[in-house]
Amino acid sequence: MSLLKRLFGTAASDAPAAEPVTDPLRINVYATVRTLPPIDFRHELLGWRDLSDPDLPDHLRGLTGYVMSRGDGEMTALRYHVWRHAQRVRNHVSLDVLPEDLDGLQRWARTANGILFLPDGSVRAPDLAILFDAEGASDPTAALPYQPDAIARRQRTLQLLEGLELQPPTSIPPAIGEAELELRSPDEVLRRALALLYIAARGQMQGTEVGPIPLGRRDENPIGFAALTERERALLDGAGAEEGAFAAISWRYEAANALLWALGFEGASLADSESLIDVDALWRSVAEVARAGAPGAGLAFRPAAEILDALDRTWLEHWIVRQAHAKDLAIERPNGDVVMERHVALNWLTSFQNEFGTSWDEIDTPT
């Protein structure tokens, strides 16, 4: 059955001489790009909102719930990826489109990286292929949209990881593209990085009984101390601390390194995923800022493409680490603790795989 027949209930043999259907389709578009491209086809705009609307996150959770409830509700790869798309939505557009203007809609939706909700209860890809119909059935040819630079980046990442014993499946979709990326503010990122240095140093001090470490002292790192989360403060106070907890939080040096690398600090490096960060060099590069008591001006991120390269690589490396653990395999690289900390930091920085604005303590790192 063609798209128009399905939507309007018109069969070719019903009335060959009937007037063509001219009623518009009411379509909701869920786009992941930061800035919507101009709507350059004939339409009637009924509404538009972005994440400044406090009701949009609940609406997107409702969209996810709808998809999950169709059919048997089993969590399939397609359902999972539609859920992840909904998490990345930045713009929700509602518009009426005449059937003869659907070609324009398809071109625009692809550029906007949007999925569509149509009047028949179906969720569709930009080319109108059915991701899920109202009963939960899918067109096996339907595919979620991804940005061209994200697709190209994924190919480079897979080539970079070719020599590893375990290989990530090609079915794992690419991460976000530059048009979808919005980083947290440099000021917020620096404060979080200094807090991570503070808690890592405290963990090292309490776990190994070494002497005072400057970056774990309030007088040397006042910004870091002030930026601790409530959960971090409770841990340092000993509330609910389990055996090995302080050794575990000393790995936060690696998360701090990823954030300071994104900010371009010279002592930070993501050159490989095996070597541990040189903490002394990292501290020397940031000590003056930390002691100042306020971040100051002039903070800026390195190019977005570099950050996204690191994100995509780290995501797949974390998949390798988890698979090795599940299979009880010993692998030389990447280093699992290093990669895990980087994944948390980069997901927080980019809001990848998490709703926008998710707090540090709640960041997820699915693989």
* Per-residue pLDDT tens digits for 37-80: 999 999 999 999 999 999 999 999 999 999 999 988 888 989 99
User: In this model, does residue 239 exceed pLDDT 90?
Assistant: no
pLDDT at 207: 65
**Which has the closest alpha carbon to 94: 57, 145, 49, 52?**
49
Do 322 and 230 fall into the same domain?
yes
Do 233 and 347 fall into the same domain?
yes
Residue 143 within any structural domain of the chain: no
Residue 156 within any structural domain of the chain: no
How many CA atoms lie within 13 Å of 308's alpha carbon, on the beta-carbon side?
21
**Which has the closest alpha carbon to 89: 22, 144, 158?**
144
**Which has the closest alpha carbon to 365: 340, 335, 336, 338?**
340
User: In this model, does residue 210 exceed pLDDT 90?
Assistant: no
Task: Out of 117, 132, 147, pick the residue that ends a domain.
Answer: 132
pLDDT at 301: 97
Do 119 and 220 fall into the same domain?
no
Kind and range of the H or E run holding 347: helix 336-350
Do 194 and 123 fall into the same domain?
no
User: In this model, does residue 209 exceed pLDDT 70?
Assistant: no
SS3 198: helix
pLDDT at 18: 42
**Which has the closest alpha carbon to 168: 151, 155, 150, 181?**
155
User: In this model, does residue 233 exceed pLDDT 50?
Assistant: yes
Do 110 and 193 fall into the same domain?
no
Residue 322 within any structural domain of the chain: yes
Amino acid at the residue 209: E
User: In this model, does residue 144 exceed pLDDT 90?
Assistant: yes
Tokens of 62: 């409702």
pLDDT at 295: 73
pLDDT at 243: 60
pLDDT (average), residues 292-302: 82
What contacts 328, CB < 8 A, 6 or more positions away? none
Cβ atoms within 10 Å of 86's Cβ, excluding its own: 23
Do 194 and 305 fall into the same domain?
yes
Residue 7 within any structural domain of the chain: no
Answer positive or negative: Cα dihedral of 118, 120, 125, 129: negative
Do 128 and 192 fall into the same domain?
no
Distance separating alpha carbons of residues 41 and 57, to the nearest angstrom:
28
Residue 238 within any structural domain of the chain: yes
Distance separating alpha carbons of residues 99 and 3, to the nearest angstrom:
10
Task: Out of 112, 132, 152, pick the residue that ends a domain.
Answer: 132
Kind and range of the H or E run holding 46: strand 44-50
Q: Which of 72-81, 114-123, 287-296 is most confident?
A: 114-123
Answer positive or negative: Cα dihedral of 247, 248, 254, 256: negative
Task: Out of 88, 116, 132, pick the residue that ends a domain.
Answer: 132
Do 211 and 350 fall into the same domain?
yes
User: In this model, does residue 20 exceed pLDDT 60?
Assistant: no
User: In this model, does residue 335 exceed pLDDT 70?
Assistant: yes
Helix 252-262 crosses helix 279-291 at what angle (to 10 degrees)? Answer: 60
Distance separating alpha carbons of residues 266 and 283, to the nearest angstrom:
10
Do 128 and 195 fall into the same domain?
no
pLDDT at 9: 35
Do 192 and 267 fall into the same domain?
yes
Give strand pairing partners of 25.
Answer: 97
Helix 186-208 crosses helix 252-262 at what angle (to 10 degrees)? Answer: 160
Residue 343 within any structural domain of the chain: yes
Distance separating alpha carbons of residues 51 and 325, to the nearest angstrom:
38
Residue 174 within any structural domain of the chain: no
Residue 152 within any structural domain of the chain: no
Do 85 and 195 fall into the same domain?
no
Query: Going along 84-143, which residue ranges are E strands?
Result: 91-97, 114-117, 123-124, 130-132
Per-residue b/e over 10-35, b at no fewer than 16 CB within 10 Å?
eeeeeeeeeeebeebbebbbbbbbee
Do 206 and 296 fall into the same domain?
yes
- Looking at the structure of the chain, the number of domains it has is 2
pLDDT at 244: 72
Domain with 277, as residue range(s), is 186-362
